[in-house]
Amino acid sequence: MALIVQKYGGTSVGTPEKIEAVAEKITRMHGEGHQLVVVVSAMSGETNRLLELSAAVHEQPSAREMDVLLSTGEQVTIALLSMALQKRAVEARSYTGQQVHILTNNVHGKARIQKIEADRVQKDLAQGRVVVIAGFQGVDSEGNITTLGRGGSDTTAVAMAAALKADECQIYTDVDGVYTTDPRIVPEAHRLDRITVEEMLEMSSLGTKVLQIRSVEFAGKYKVPLRVLSAFEEGPGTLITYEEKEMEQAQISGIAFNRDEAKLTILGVPDQPGVAFNILGAIADAEVNVDMIVQNVGEDGTTNFTFTVHRSDFKQAQTILQKLARELKAREVSGDDKIVKISVVGVGMRSHAGVASTMFKALADEGINIQMISTSEIKVSVVVDEKYLELGVRALHAAFELDQAVEK
Ligand code: ASP
Ligand code: MG
């Protein structure tokens, strides 16, 4: 018998039939003697529908009222799922985030969980009830409803699991685990049995959107045993681990990519102290996140400075840079919003030399020009023209022998 926190995403509870199927599964597991806490998202499409409704009423609705609105999606699902469980003679109780007292800070729209009072849930569990909790929402210290950001139900589930010291947190979704890369691009991609939390963080932040990144950070902090698995098919899913596999660690666990990148270069800036600060300070003041940064070797007292931003911030960053270029007496500003980032990720990289050269050779063999490079302890990323995304990801997946990797 185990205490398990399960989370079902929007697609898993998207219709009454799917809610019934989820209820069947929960009934079965409850019958096996497990204690279950179930966190659910809004039915698929519902959060977007609510967003559209608000847009029709107000161009810039207040963040507080947005949270009141968006939190209703999950409230519908908890009630329906509890009814479906009760129909199966399972004693179930639904609670909103506010009711179970998921206390957050007051940053509406992306609130952070500060504390969970698990007593109420524990009492229900002790009486054999299944507890159904609305994901994505909480309450601030003044009683205002807050939400945790898109995909936030994952974080609710992980936080509940941490608070209850659950044996496992299971995230049920429409894929059966974490893959070596996107199977829509590489049909040979395969499900990983395990992935370390560090790799998972890289894979999520680089665009392999299986879990909300904050939930992975949370899991890492509290070492929550976390598993991603399919709501529709039986299978072991992917376990997120906190220890690196010791023996025969593959160099690379996966190939991640990010389509929505853009790069900007300011050419011929005076090569003097404070230049990087001047440029990036102005960009940061505009709340634009910068990812890769490259400064070239100075020549004739000037240098070129290149960085990447999210594609949606490209125009704004370009305008800022053009203004700066005049102030700094730089030669010119150039930009490209048709680039992508591809990364190879793996903790095994720490103990294997030559990952970067294997990567660069594979790209060269396909005639793909690398525009920028950055590395960390467990990843190597390159920026390439967006037309090479699919080709590049396939070439790297094959070069690191992920196509035929055998699970242990
Ligand atoms: N319903 C929210 C969303 O779409 C939260 C979630 O599904 O995790 O983002
Ligand atoms: Mg999700």
Residue 7 Cα to ligand 1 midpoint, Å, equals: 11
Indicate the angle between helix axes 197-205 and 213-222, nearest 10 degrees: 160
CA–centroid distance, residue 357 to ligand 1 (Å): 40
Q: Which atom of ligand 1 is nearest to the CA of 46?
A: 1
Q: How far is the CA of 293 from the centre of ligand 2 (A)?
A: 30
Residue 215 lies in a domain: no
149 C-alpha to center of ligand 1: Å?
Answer: 8
| 376-386 as b/e: b if 16+ CB within 10 A | eebbbbbbbeb
Residue 196 lies in a domain: no
166 shares its domain with 260: no
- By residue range, what is the domain housing residue 34? 3-173
Residue 246 has pLDDT above 80, yes or no: no
Average pLDDT of span 387-391: 97
pTM for this predicted structure: 0.86
How many whole angstroms from 176 Cα to the centroid of ligand 2?
13
Q: Name the closest ligand to CA 10.
A: 1
Residue nearest (by alpha carbon) to ligand 1 atom 9: 150
- How far is 298 from 283, CA to CA, in rounded Å? 22
Nearest-angstrom CA–CA distance, 65 and 67: 5
Residues 266 and 389 occupy one common structural domain: yes
Closest C-alpha among 44, 38, 73 to residue 170: 38
Closest listed residue to residue 336, CA positions, set 365, 357, 309, 358: 309
DSSP 8-state code for residue 110 = S
Mean pLDDT, to the nearest integer, of 363-389? 96
- For residue 10 and ligand 1, the question of a CB distance below 6 A is answered with yes
Q: Which of 150-159, 197-206, 256-265 has the lowest mean pLDDT?
A: 197-206
CA–CA separation, 22 and 62 (whole Å): 35
Q: What pLDDT does residue 394 have?
A: 97
330 within domain boundaries: yes
Instruction: List, in sequence order, every residue forming a beta bridge with 290; answer none if it has no partner.
Output: 309
CB-CB contact of 383 with 339 (8 Å): yes
Question: Has residue 288 got a pLDDT over 80?
Answer: yes
Residue 407's pLDDT is 46
In angstroms, what is the span from residue 8 Cα to ligand 1's centroid? 11
The answer, yes or no, to whether residue 402 has pLDDT greater than 90, is yes
Do 165 and 266 belong to one domain? no
User: Which tens digits make up the pLDDT trace of 40-61?
Assistant: 999 999 999 999 999 999 999 9
| Ligand 1 contacts CB of residue 42 (under 6 A) | yes
Check residue 243 and give its pLDDT: 77
3-state DSSP helix/strand/coil % of the chain, to nearest 5? 40, 30, 35
Three-state DSSP state, 315: helix
Q: What's the DSSP call for residue 350? A: G
Q: How far apart are CA 185 and CA 403, in angstroms?
A: 12
More confident residue, 406 or 106: 106
pLDDT tens for residues 272-284?
A: 898 899 999 999 9
Query: Could you tell me if 160 and 269 lie in one domain?
Result: no
Residue 97 near ligand 1, beta carbon < 6 Å: no
Q: How many CB atoms lie within 10 A of CB 142?
A: 6
Model confidence at 245: pLDDT above 80: no
In the structure, what pLDDT confidence band is assigned to residue 210 with cuts at 50, 70 and 90?
A: confident
Instruction: Looking at the structure, tell me whether residues 156 and 259 fall in a common domain.
Output: no
Three-state secondary-structure class, residue 320: helix
Atom number, ligand 1, closest to the C-alpha of residue 212? 8
pLDDT confidence band for 207 (50 / 70 / 90): low
User: Which ligand is nearest the CA of 110, by number?
Assistant: 1
350 vs 324, residue with greater confidence: 324
- Give, rounded to a whole angstrom, the gap between the first and last alpha carbons of the chain: 27
Alpha-carbon gap, residue 118 to 101, rounded angstroms: 8
Pairing of strands 168-173, 226-230: parallel
Residues 278-304: what's their mean pLDDT? 90
DSSP 299: B
Which of 149, 173, 197 is where one domain is finished? 173
Question: Is residue 160 a part of any domain in this protein?
Answer: yes
Kindly tell me if the per-residue pLDDT of 352 is higher than 90: no
Gap between the Cα atoms of 18 and 197, Å rounded: 30
The rounded distance, in Å, linking the Cα atoms of 391 and 145 is 46
Q: Rounded to the nearest whole angstrom, what is the distance from the C-alpha of residue 111 to the centroid of ligand 2?
A: 17
Of 385, 407, 108, 351, the closest CA to residue 261 belongs to: 385
Q: Is the CB of 136 under 6 A from ligand 1?
A: yes
User: If pLDDT is split at 50, 70 and 90, which confidence band does 379 have?
Assistant: very high
**Residue among 8, 153, 211, 216 whose CB has most ligand 1 atoms within 8 A, to mutate:** 153
Residue 91 falls inside a structural domain:
yes
Cα distance between residue 43 and residue 94, in whole Å: 16
Ligand closest to Cα of 97 equals 1
Count other Cβ atoms within 10 Å, centred on residue 120.
Answer: 14
Identify whether 133 is part of a domain: yes
Q: Are 361 and 342 in contact (CB under 8 A)?
A: no
Which CATH number belongs to the domain containing residue 75 in this structure? 3.40.1160.10
> Is the CB of residue 110 below 6 angstroms from any atom belonging to ligand 1?
no
Count up the domains in the chain and report the number: 2
For position 248, what pLDDT does the model report? 58
Domain finish residue from 141, 173, 205: 173
Residues 270, 375 share a domain? yes
Q: What is the pLDDT of residue 72?
A: 98
Least confident range of 35-49, 121-135, 252-266, 391-405: 391-405
Instruction: Answer whether 94 contacts ligand 1 (Cβ < 6 A).
Output: no
Helix (H) or strand (E) holding 73: helix 63-87
Task: Tell me the two tokens of residue 347.
Answer: 């903790």
| Ligand 1 center to 281 CA (angstroms) | 33
